[in-house]
A and B are shown apart, each in its own frame.
Chain A
Amino acid sequence: MLGENTIKTHVAHVLGKLGLRDRVQAVVVAYETGLVAPEPRPPFDAILPCVLRYRFLFEQMVRRELRQKYKGSALGVLWYLVNPLVLMGAYALVFSVLLRVADIPDYPLFLLVGLIVWVFFSQALLAAAPSLVTNASLVRKVRFPREAIPASVATVQLVTFIVMLALVLPVALIVRDSLDPALALLVPIVVALFALVLGLSLAVAVLHAHFRDVEPVLGAALLPWFFLTPIFLPVEDMPGVGSRRWLGDLLEWGNPVAPFVSAVRDVLFAGQAPSGAHLLYLAAAGAGALVLGLLLFRRMERDLAVIV
């Protein structure tokens, strides 16, 4: 016979040895130490089979987002070229005509290339952050891989980005008047950039579902981030960098968007291949962001249907 009090004593001893207050804390420790596995869903199953399996759903979701975004507008996707063009005009005026800090030939084109990369990055994150909450009825009422929501939002921005690249490319070719083999690098660079954007989109979307301040914080952070990114000037020409190498390195490598801006500009504006270090960084940043974004999403998606 085993008395109830005997069990209670044993439980108390176990809790005491582990320094825990109650059995709920013990459960938490059991999860944290991996003694108990939370859900059968693996935290990170192979991305590729997953994407292949749900590609029809994904395609449908992207089409839905695209339709929603461009409904009733005559110019459709072209409107999204207007924004960077207006920015380009304004900054070209300020930096090259009024302040005269930028002494770069074809400066408007230089600006435009950086701007479209930035616009893709920032718009995708801003659109992805509230996406799970906006699609609450879907999250609450249908079982499907929820990654599809932020991923489709980011993909719509990718489509816009590619359209803009396609429009800027001939302009760049005419201005430079040469067809450089380095242009072929544009494809892997865009793939890596999309991986970065996709990973961060998954992260901000699931974080925003849990903490509703994420979207406003992101909105506020993107403005200083924009000015710290070498869009107006190459890093080495940025004010105060000339004498301080470490500052230049920090601005170039400390900001995950900066190497992407530099690389796209190298290829598209200058017609040169980016450095090996750059290419390596892009691949690592893209893959790293995607893996971390997916891991975070899988970790935090459990109660999505309850909290959105």
Chain B
Amino acid sequence: MRRGEVVLDGATRSFHVRRDRSRTLKELAVRGGRRRAQATVDALRDVNLRVGPGEAVGLVGRNGAGKSSTLACLAGIVPLDSGRAECGGRVVTLLELGAGFGTDFSGRENIYLNGALHGFERDEIEARVADIVAFSELGEFIDLPVRVYSSGMYLRLGFSIAAHLDADVMLIDEILAVGDESFQRKCLARISERMEAGTTMVLVSHDPSAIERVCRRVVVLDAGRVAFDGGVAEGLAAHHRLLGTVEGGSRSGRPGPGGQLDVVELDLLDALGSPRRVFRPQEAVQVRMAIRAASPADRVVAALEVRDGRGEMCFRSDTAVGAVDGTVEVSFAVEALALLGGDYDVAVGAAEQDAPAGTWLDRVARLSVTPVSDGEGVADLRGAWTVGDREAGVVAGGRSA
């Protein structure tokens, strides 16, 4: 086993839903220690993965796909039923921020405690304290008990400690989703620095942009198996396909006012007219819906709204449909999708013209955009940089130089 190497070899682990809640003596006495028939959940089924030193792998998948179990098994916290899970060299885990913090310890004291928990000695930690304190931006708070910290300060301290210990392997679970954006960026930069120093990263995240910035390789887990192992763009697209098959085209659950007008069908179509959930930036997309009126309506309006992953509106438009009796098909055609990589919701609805706006968008489809460009944010502006008289690069859908 080389330092920084990570190996999963036929890793299999299931959890007994019943037994793993701890038993009581009464249960034991009544059943004489025999186990009753149990439901089991297979968290990992024959997972094979080999990560070389200095490599960074993003682990994605739906909830319950086995991402966190994989990390716990790699860290040696949860033993496998069969197979092998090993990390070469020193492992630092960041599975839960502030796990094991002494709440009455000051931030500084917790640096030592946390370092010790990860198997580091006093002098190794001492050499890092100044860097950790500076990175955490905690200032004089570092000498106050962490009990008084805000959750953001907790996060900053926890990450700073883990990111400054000299690990050969770092296992990170969904940590970067917390905290303000500037600190997130700083964390990602620090992770890149560690990778350059040769630390191997295995990162679980639901945030495609974090995976995209850090990783060169994506492993998609589904139902405890490796569904995809390869490049980042393809991996994230595979991940989005998995999401789409489950979530696409669902109703938002709000009935239209009076139940008079309903969107009964909603599809996202590509240039060839076939329904899809995952698109590349600048691709053509057609949003097609079918509106049905329970009773004839005169002045019908159809609307469409695109929201980003946080629910913020990115785009909204409506159109007069006119009189509807029975079912009518309405489409909204987008020539080039000006959205950057990420998950979006396309919400549509129909109502009589005087209905209050915003309450009747009752059908939602998940639209996933493959992250391929260098830009950050929501809109893909297809801009180009010029430095002096030399074109420095185009930042646009998939064609950044």
Using CB atoms and an 8 Å cutoff, list the residues of chain A in contact with chain B.
Answer: 39, 56-57, 59-61, 63-64, 67-68, 71, 135, 137-144, 209-214, 217, 302-303, 305-308
A138 to B118, CA, bound (A): 11
24 contacts across the A-B interface (CB closer than 8 A): A56-B121, A60-B117, A64-B104, A137-B96, A137-B100, A140-B77, A140-B96, A140-B99, A141-B100, A142-B77, A143-B91, A143-B93, A144-B117, A210-B22, A210-B23, A211-B22, A211-B24, A211-B25, A211-B28, A213-B24, A305-B72, A306-B15, A306-B78, A307-B22
With both chains docked as a complex, state the minimum distance between the C-beta of A118 and any C-beta of chain B, in angstroms.
Answer: 26
Complex CA distance for A270 and B91, rounded to whole angstroms: 54
- A300 to B20 CA separation, bound complex (whole angstroms): 13
Interface residues on B, range: 20 to 34
A70 nearest in chain B by CB position:
B104
Query: Across the interface, do B93 and A142 meet the contact criterion of CB distance under 8 Å?
Result: yes
Bound form: Cα–Cα A214–B117 in Å? 27
Q: Mark B22-33, 1 if CB is under 8 A from A, else 0.
A: 111110100000
Q: Given A142-B99, A210-B23, A213-B25, is A60 in contact with B116 using a C-beta cutoff of 8 Å?
A: yes
Indicate if B216 sits at the interface (CB-CB under 8 A): no
Q: Does the CB pair A60–B112 fall under 8 Å? A: yes
CB-based contact B99/A138 at 8 Å: yes
Would you give the shortest CB distance from A134 to chain B, in whole angstroms? Answer: 12
Residue from B72, B79, B113 within 8 A of A302 (CB atoms): B79
Determine whether the beta carbon of B20 is less than 8 Å from that of A57: no
Point out the residue from B76, B104, B109 that lies within 8 Å of A71, measured CB to CB: B104
Interface of B is mostly: loop
Closest residue on chain A to residue B106 by CB atoms: A67
C-alpha spacing A185/B119, complex, angstroms:
36
Interfacial chain A residues near B121, Cβ < 8 Å: 56
B102 interface contact, C-beta 8 A: yes
| Cβ-defined contact, A64 with B96, below 8 A | no
Q: Which residues of B contact A (CB under 8 A)?
A: 15, 20-26, 28, 72, 75-79, 91, 93, 95-96, 99-100, 102-105, 109, 112-113, 116-119, 121-122
A141 contacts across to B, CB distance below 8 A: 77, 93, 95-96, 99-100
> Closest 8 CB pairs between A and B?
A141-B99, A64-B102, A57-B116, A138-B100, A141-B96, A60-B116, A141-B95, A60-B113
- CB pair B116 A143 closer than 8 Å: no
Q: Could you say which residues of chain A place their CB within 8 Å of the CB of B96?
A: 137, 140-141
| Cβ-defined contact, A306 with B20, below 8 A | yes
For residue B97, give the distance in angstroms from its CB to the closest CB of chain A.
Answer: 9
Closest to B98 in A: A137
A137-B99, A305-B72, A305-B78 are contacts. A57–B23 as well, Cβ < 8 Å?
no
Query: Which listed residue (B20, B25, B100, B118) contacts A307, Cβ 8 A?
Result: B20
Q: Which residue of B lies closest to A67 (CB)?
A: B104
**Closest beta carbon of chain B to A162's beta carbon, Å:** 22
In the bound complex, how far is the Cα of B93 from the Cα of A305, in angstroms? 15
Compute how far the CA of A213 lies from the CA of B23 in the bound complex, rounded to whole angstroms: 9
Smallest beta-carbon distance B104→chain A, Å? 5
Report chain A residues within 8 Å CB of B25: 211, 213-214, 217
* A63 to B117 alpha-carbon distance, docked (Å): 13
| Shortest CB distance B172–A (Å) | 12
CA distance A262 to B109 in the complex (A): 41
Determine whether the beta carbon of A68 is less than 8 Å from that of B75. Answer: no
A67-B102, A141-B96 are known contacts; what are 14 more A-B pairs with Cβ within 8 Å? A56-B116, A56-B121, A60-B112, A60-B113, A64-B104, A141-B77, A143-B91, A144-B118, A211-B28, A213-B26, A214-B25, A217-B25, A306-B20, A306-B78
- Determine the distance from Cα of A209 to Cα of B24 in the docked complex, in whole angstroms: 10
Say whether B100 contacts A142, CB under 8 Å: yes
Residue of B nearest to A307 (CB): B22
| Inter-chain contacts of B119 with A (CB < 8 A) | 57, 144
Q: Which residues of B contact A63 (CB under 8 A)?
A: 102, 105, 109, 113
